[in-house]
Amino acid sequence: MYGFEAMTFNIHGGYLEAIVRGHRAGLLTAADYNNLCQCETLDDIKMHLSATEYGPYLQNEPSPLHTTTIVEKCTLKLVDEYKHMLCQATEPLSTFLEYITYGHMIDNVVLIVTGTLHERDVQELLEKCHPLGMFDSIATLAVAQNMRELYRLVLVDTPLAPYFSECITSEDLDDMNIEIMRNTLYKAYLEDFYKFCQKLGGATAEIMSDLLAFEADRRAVNITINSIGTELTRDDRRKLYSNFGLLYPYGHEELAVCEDIDQVRAVMEKYPPYQSIFSKLSYGESQMLDKAFYEEEVKRLCLAFEQQFHYGVFFAYMRLREQEIRNLMWISECVAQNQKSRVHDSVVFIF
């Protein structure tokens, strides 16, 4: 142990830690995935899921099913579990649980703003938002014309307000600016979450530092690859990287000047934990990179459950459940579109 957590943790956190470990036991296993991959129709998938914890959420759905329905109901289960844990939590765990949802809030803000820019119906956009990232004034995001208005009219009252200090400009919102805004917000959010975990100390700080550093490094790699061939300058690119993680600061200096995927690979192979990820890819290939990162993340998240008396298990569980929902969405899409040969391409086994 890293301190005296064992003596006091269970006073406030013991019940919820037991709950979250119970939820973890309900995650789908490799055997479940193998059975799901054999399914011929979406109704077969529903029938198989009826024997799992998703059963009650899908049992009243009429045929023919759609992939969106399956994903919606599985997400609803995650939201119900999250709300139950949040209701039972006391400080500082309740703040920690709220931090977990800020990433979804940022994604929802970006989704609404981008959709409005392309003249999509606000109601239709709201239905696509992740339920964990909803807040009261989200529908009014559609009225904003630039970053300053977006902040002044809507976001000043949300938990995202402090993260906006770096990206308040008077520039009009366009696709490039919105993407920069998303990454700037994410950078501020990850750094804030990292500081909060450091303040908690003990095993929580140790485990969450590792998980958040991995997330920051993955985002740095994705930003680099996505900005190759765009008008984003090296300095602008460097500003979007988080100020912590294994790649900070020297890896960031090298990533900022990369001009193709092989140069990114050369930088990442200097860091042993990431060497194994890039060794799975052939040169010049970036399509399978996301899957390789997800597999590494799942491995790290599962390790968080090996220790007790820390809050990292709540973060790990939420992330594992989200990965499971991504797996179910991919399998359902492959079955619905009769592309069963590709079903294993994006499924990341959790256990």
pLDDT single digits (tens) 105-158:
999 988 988 888 887 888 888 889 999 999 887 877 777 777 777 777 777 778
The pLDDT score that the predictor gives to residue 1 is: 46
- pLDDT score of 196 more than 70: yes
| Cβ pair 304, 86 in contact under 8 A | no
**Distance between CA atoms of 155 and 108, rounded to whole angstroms?**
12
Whole-prediction pTM: 0.93
Q: Torsion over CA of 328, 334, 336 and 337, rounded to 10 degrees?
A: 160
Average pLDDT over residues 160-174: 73
Residue 174 scores a pLDDT above 60: yes
User: Domain map of the chain by residue range?
Assistant: 3-12+81-321
162 cis-preceded (ω within 30 degrees of 0):
no
pLDDT above 90 covers a percentage of the chain that reads 58
Q: For the residues 161-181, what does the mean pLDDT come to?
A: 76
